[in-house]
Structure 1
Amino acid sequence: MYENTFWEEILNITLLSLRVSGTSVLIGALIGVPLGTLLGLRQFKGKRNVMHFVDVMLKSVINTFMGLPPVVAGLVVYLLLTTSGPLGWLGLLYTPTAMIITQLIIVIPIIIGVTMSAVGSIEKSIRERALSLGATEAQAAWLVLREARMGILTSIIAAFGAAISEVGGIMITGGNIRWWTRTLTTAIVIETELGNFKMALTLGAILLSISFIINLALTIVQLKGARK
């Protein structure tokens, strides 16, 4: 009976981790890829000094948020969703939804930043050549997007890796509640503190396997991009 419960809990924790991280990355990609592409396409356009300054500042902010400590993201979401906060009436604190929101704050800057770099690194030659051959702005942008697809995919894989391994932020907003908001990372913390090393090591092995798969996928994408 104990063994059945053990593996049921392992499965519950693993599936919740994948669901929360997968959802946050999916939503983050829908927001981050278009924004990153837009910023990357604007990178080589001639601007006045003021516009150039705004552009540099915007990209600096994005790069700063790429290194945002997860606990800070968790604190911000907690203050928004707590009963005395502006969004407390939604009742989302200590739910998987709150955890997804927390991870969104973490993954969106990563997706925007990597996508922006990928698009910007090839935009100058591809876009100008397409325009010189009579392509419209939209057609030229689509060509750039196709050329940068490996970089965009890299941004999504990297974001998922950051999300699945995050612990501090989702522990604050999810509460690490058993059978409800306990993920691989938060469960490892609590089980280690309780001295339940069998559970902690099993969860650690699963998390390590997921990380290996993510890095393997990232390496394959990078190798394919290098061969182009």
Structure 2
Amino acid sequence: MDSITEGFIKAFHLIITLNTDLLGIIFLSLKVSGIALVISTAIGIPLSAVLGLKRFPAKDFVISLTNTFMGLPPVVVGLFVYIMLSRSGPLGFMGLLYTPSAMVIAQTILAFPIVVSLCHSAIVGVDPIIRQASMTLGATPFQITITIIKEARYGIMSGVIAAFGRVMAEVGAILIVGGNIAGYTRVMTTTIALETDKGNFELALALGIVLLFISMAVNIVLHLIQKKGMVK
């Protein structure tokens, strides 16, 4: 019990003193996940608008495929990206394997279907009267789309935050494609796994505490957004 207490004390000391290694790992985690989220959101929201507002062949298939990909096993994504970026793979010439860029690619693939599916649900949930009223007032298709997206903004924000929570807690894919290289591709989740195996519980506990606080903050923001959307 004393060793556990001592481990927590040392872990909080690392956090309070702003340990350099700890901050570097946290910053890299936020950077990789943040970039992946921006990319998946920039592509996912327009696609979800198309799926929600347009009619085209195989639309139902695309929606079903996107919903299925929400549950993609991270290790499968990591394996796929590894094969694509390996020296013998089609993108091996880019030299991205075991770099933060490879981690961004893997996390983008994981976040993308979550953004698309949840944003699509928010868009199709908008009252049809709003679209009809916009058409009656002579709005262009683009203006109608923007109006509907604005109306669904709370649901869209919830989808984006949910995707961020998913990629922040991910370990399998980025471990495969990033290699967990100290000072270069080592993020919070992979460091926790490594340091626990090594018996260095202080750093693992410190990162675990930070990750829990980030997860709590994400869930609080998500709850507030959903609550605000319900009373809108």
Whether TM exceeds 0.5 here: the answer is: yes
Match of 1:34 among 36, 40, 46: 46
Q: How much does 1:134 deviate? A: 3.1
Is the contact between residue 127 and residue 144 of structure 1 (CA under 8 Å) also seen in structure 2?
yes
Residue from 205, 210, 228 that aligns with 1:206: 210
- For residues 62-211 of structure 1, the aligned pairs below 5 Å read 62-122=66-126, 124-211=128-215
Structure 2: gaps (5+ residues): 1-12
* Cα displacement (A) at 1:124: 2.2
Are 1:20 and 1:96, in contact at CA under 8 Å, matched by a contact in 2? yes
Tell me if structure 2 keeps the 8 A contact 1:24–1:103: yes
**Contact 1:41/1:123 (CA < 8 Å) preserved in 2?**
no
Show CA shifts across 1:71-99 (max 9, x none): 11110100011111111111110000000
Q: SS of the counterpart of 1:34?
A: helix
Separation in 2 of the partners of 1:80 and 1:137? 38
**Deviation of 1:181 (Å):** 0.5
Q: Which residue type is aligned with residue 195 of structure 1?
A: G
Percent pairwise identity: 47
> How far apart, in 2, do the equivalents of 1:97 and 1:123 lie?
40
Q: Using the alignment, how far apart are the partners of 1:18 and 1:184 within structure 2?
A: 9
1:96-148 CA deviation, whole Å, 9 max, x = no partner? 00000000100111111111110011152311232134333222222111101
Structure-1 separation of matches of 2:73 and 2:102: 17
Contact 1:21 1:163 (8 Å CA) reproduced = yes
- What per-residue deviation string (whole Å, max 9, x for no partner) do you get for residues 130-167 of structure 1? 21343332222221111011111111111111111000
8 Å contact kept, 1:79–1:85: yes
TM-score (norm 2): 0.90
**Aligned-residue CA RMSD (Å):** 1.7
Aligned to 1:221: 225
The whole-number CA distance in structure 2 between the counterparts of 1:205 and 1:225 is 30
Tell me if the contact between 1:24 and 1:107 (Cα under 8 Å) persists in the aligned partners.
Answer: yes
Equivalenced residue count is 218
Matched residue SS, 2:126: helix
Unaligned runs of 5+ in 1: none
